[in-house]
Amino acid sequence: MSVDPNTLAIPFWGANTIMVTLGCAVFGALAGSVGTFVLARKQSLLADVAGHATLPGVAIAFLLGESLGIGGRSPWLLFLGGGTTALLAAWSTPWLARHKRLGADGANAVALAGFFGLGTVLFSLVQSHPAGAQGGLRRLLFGSAAAITSSDAASLAMIALIALAVLVLCFKELSLLAFDEAAARVLGLPTRRLDWMLLLLLVATVVAGMQVAGVALVVSMLIAPAAAARIIGGSFARTVTLAACIGILCAVMGATASRGFEHVPTGSAMTIAATAVFFACIPCSRLFRARRSRTSTEARR
Amino acid sequence: MSRQGCPLELERFSAGYGNGDCVVRDASFALRSGCMTALVGPNGAGKSTLLKGALGLLPHANTAGVRFFGQPLDKVRARVAYLPQRADIDWTFPASALDVAAMGLYRKIGFFHRVRGKWKSEARRALAMVGMESLDDMPIGELSGGQQQRVLLARSLVQGADLLMLDEPFVNVDFATEERLGAVLRDACRSGMSVLAVHHDLGDVRRYFDDAVLFDGTVVAHGSIDVALADANLHEAFRLGPPPEDSIA
């Protein structure tokens, strides 16, 4: 693996690179914060299913765009295609678990394998299409920040910002849903709609991240920053904020590393960064816990 | 007691989990206002199912005969609070004691509004009522079982409800915590709140409760403690065979 000093300098100077890095940062913030809710709702594997399920949708959108003559590489078309199949997977997996006596574990495995299998078959069709090989869609598997354009980055940032705004507006209702659904229902909160909203936020995160983190690894950006923030502890708002900050850090690190090191997929670099931060947080959590314990002992005196 | 003021009235209420078995069958009783009522019965009698079913938490419950303050639950949700079993809660959830207590205020605060200082002060007052004011910033996962139960009670109290429905509030808490929770609930009843609590310990039911509903899939007896928990009723509910003749006399 060779390091090109010229490309290492690019992230800090090129307008396109700055735009892409900003897009990655907004995605990281969204992934960290949504991931905290997903982890609390025990939907980590569902996030993985949704990530893998974007693949057939993207392939169908590309083929449809090309056959209609509107261009298959349009970011909004790919987001729409990937989002539709991810939403279908995120909705059908819990349904399978409930109604077919599979349990969440079996339903996740069936849905992940089914959607990803379909995706790989459709991708072989995309690759055999004249425009398919040049479209760079193969990079969607593990992500490539270097391959995305300013317009891609602006589109993903827009999705991420809208999703973040929804999350902030419904923060407390979603937090009660995640903590104690029964209490939320007795209080009269619209739990079914909130559950759907969380699914849509999950899908929006997956769709926003599929180009930079890749469909196979986007789940790591949802869960690892949230898990790292969770072991540090504190209030829920603090945990979500910390997860968002860790998400930004890992997304920017991943994007920068994949630009500096040839052939390193951005998703893999982000995953390694997020996993490293998670393990670094384990000793930190002991320090925070000891400090809290001292504070509470003093308060009780 | 007027029926309009009756905190909870069940008439031929049934509930189950949708597998064909009806866990609660034809349950009928009406709670006295301003009283602490214990819902007691053998393990697996359906006490928690009754509570959850009446609150609309089960998909297979016939709630047509359930009235809270003379009305369907949807019209009086602000007047009813629920405290689930401690085991039903994920205590690894990343939240502080203050976060959890403030959750009881979410309906009052309304959608799209943040939990601002005024609401936090109210939640802190509720935590102080259960003796948890010094631990408001502590993650709930680092609290003891008794402290966690007190935080849940603070969440229910801060709601300002007129009826509090609790599922096993005294389970796995030490004696001091049990006494404290009992005293807080007694005070709440004195100020007009009504309490219905699933309780498993027949030995100390008299210490905290005014009334009891003896339950075994359906209502075996209901009334004051002495009436509801008479030997004959206990023998029937716990299937102990007929009571000794002198106790019937």
List, as one string, the DSSP characters of chain A: --B-HHHHHGGGT-HHHHHHHHHHHHHHHHHHHHHHHHHHTT-HHHHHHHHHHHHHHHHHHHHHHHHHTS-TT-HHHHHHHHHHHHHHHHHHHHHHHHHSS-HHHHHHHHHHHHHHHHHHHHHHHHHHSTTTGGGTGGGGTT--GGG--HHHHHHHHHHHHHHHHHHHHTHHHHHHHHH-HHHHHHHT--HHHHHHHHHHHHHHHHHHHTTTT-TTTHHHHHHHHHHHHHHH---HHHHHHHHHHHHHHHHHHHHHHHHHBTT--HHHHHHHHHHHHHHHHHHHHHHHHHHHHHHHHHHH-
The number of domains in chain B is 1
What's the length of chain A? 301
Residues of B in contact with A99 (CB under 8 A): none
Residues of B in contact with A292 (CB under 8 A): 137-139, 142
Asked whether residue A263 carries a pLDDT value surpassing 70, the answer given is yes
Q: Mean per-residue pLDDT for A222-246?
A: 93
Tell me the CA distances in angstroms from A38 to A48, A235, B42, B105, one per residue in order. 11, 17, 38, 23
Residues of B in contact with A175 (CB under 8 A): 95, 99, 103
Q: Note the pLDDT tens digit of each residue in B63-109.
A: 888 999 999 999 999 999 999 998 899 999 999 999 999 999 999 99
Verify whether the Cβ–Cβ distance A235 to B96 is below 8 Å. yes
Q: Which domain holds residue B103?
A: 3-248
For residue A276, the tally of other CB atoms under 10 A from its CB is 14
pLDDT grade for B221, boundaries at 50, 70 and 90: very high
Q: What pLDDT score was predicted for residue B3?
A: 42
Chosen for mutation from A235, A238, A296 (greatest number of chain B CBs closer than 10 Å) is A235
Q: How far is B133 from chain A (nearest CA, A)?
A: 9
Q: What pLDDT score was predicted for residue B37?
A: 96
Q: What pLDDT score was predicted for residue A300?
A: 57
Q: What pLDDT score was predicted for residue A147?
A: 77
Asked whether residue B19 carries a pLDDT value surpassing 90, the answer given is no
A293 Cβ under 8 Å from any chain B Cβ: yes
Residues 221-250, chain A: which have Cβ within 8 Å of B? Answer: 229-230, 233-237, 239
Crossing angle for the helix pair A103-128 and A44-68, nearest 10 degrees? 20
Strand runs labelled E in B159-216: 163-167, 194-198, 211-215
Nearest CA in chain A to B105: A187
Q: Which domain holds residue A152?
A: 5-300
Residue A99, domain CATH = 1.10.3470.10
Residues of B in contact with A236 (CB under 8 A): 93-96, 99
Interface A–B counts its CB contacts (< 8 A) at: 103
Tell me the CA distances in angstroms from A49 to A17, A84, B109, B149, B194, one per residue in order. 30, 13, 36, 36, 46
pLDDT grade for A20, boundaries at 50, 70 and 90: confident
Residues of A in contact with B111 (CB under 8 A): 169-170, 173
pLDDT grade for A21, boundaries at 50, 70 and 90: confident
Nearest CA in chain B to A236: B95
Tell me the CA distances in angstroms from A199 to A51, A113, B227, one per residue in order. 12, 20, 51
Nearest CB to B94 within list A182, A230, A295:
A230
Asked whether residue B234 carries a pLDDT value surpassing 80, the answer given is yes
Give percent above pLDDT 90 in chain B: 63
The number of domains in chain A is 1
Q: Note the pLDDT tens digit of each residue in A169-228.
A: 999 999 999 999 999 999 999 999 999 999 999 999 999 998 888 888 899 999 999 999
pLDDT, chain B, mean: 89
Nearest CB to B138 within list A182, A236, A292:
A292
Residue A245, class by beta-carbon neighbours within 10 Å (0-12 exposed, 13-18 middle, 19+ buried)?
Answer: middle
pLDDT grade for B244, boundaries at 50, 70 and 90: low
Residues of A in contact with B115 (CB under 8 A): 172
Nearest CB to A186 within list B55, B94, B138:
B55
Q: Note the pLDDT tens digit of each residue in A57-107.
A: 999 999 999 888 887 778 889 899 999 999 999 999 988 888 777 888 899
Q: Note the pLDDT tens digit of each residue in A268-285.
A: 999 999 999 999 999 888
Asked whether residue A136 carries a pLDDT value surpassing 80, the answer given is no
Verify whether the Cβ–Cβ distance A186 to B77 is below 8 Å. yes
Residues of B in contact with A229 (CB under 8 A): 94
Residue B145, domain CATH = 3.40.50.300
Q: What pLDDT score was predicted for residue A6?
A: 47
Asked whether residue A9 carries a pLDDT value surpassing 90, the answer given is no
Q: What pLDDT score was predicted for residue A13?
A: 53
Lowest-pLDDT choice from A199-208, B28-37, B168-177: B168-177
pLDDT grade for A297, boundaries at 50, 70 and 90: low
Asked whether residue B1 carries a pLDDT value surpassing 50, the answer given is no
Q: What pLDDT score was predicted for residue B242?
A: 65
Q: Mean per-residue pLDDT for A124-153?
A: 78
- Cβ neighbours of residue B197 under 8 Å, at least 6 residues apart? B36, B37, B38, B39, B164, B165, B166, B167, B168, B169, B185, B209
Crossing angle for the helix pair A15-40 and A191-209, nearest 10 degrees? 150
Nearest CB to B139 within list A179, A186, A234:
A234
pLDDT, chain A, mean: 87
Q: Note the pLDDT tens digit of each residue in A106-123.
A: 999 999 999 999 999 998
B107 Cβ under 8 Å from any chain A Cβ: yes
Q: What is the ipTM of this complex?
A: 0.87
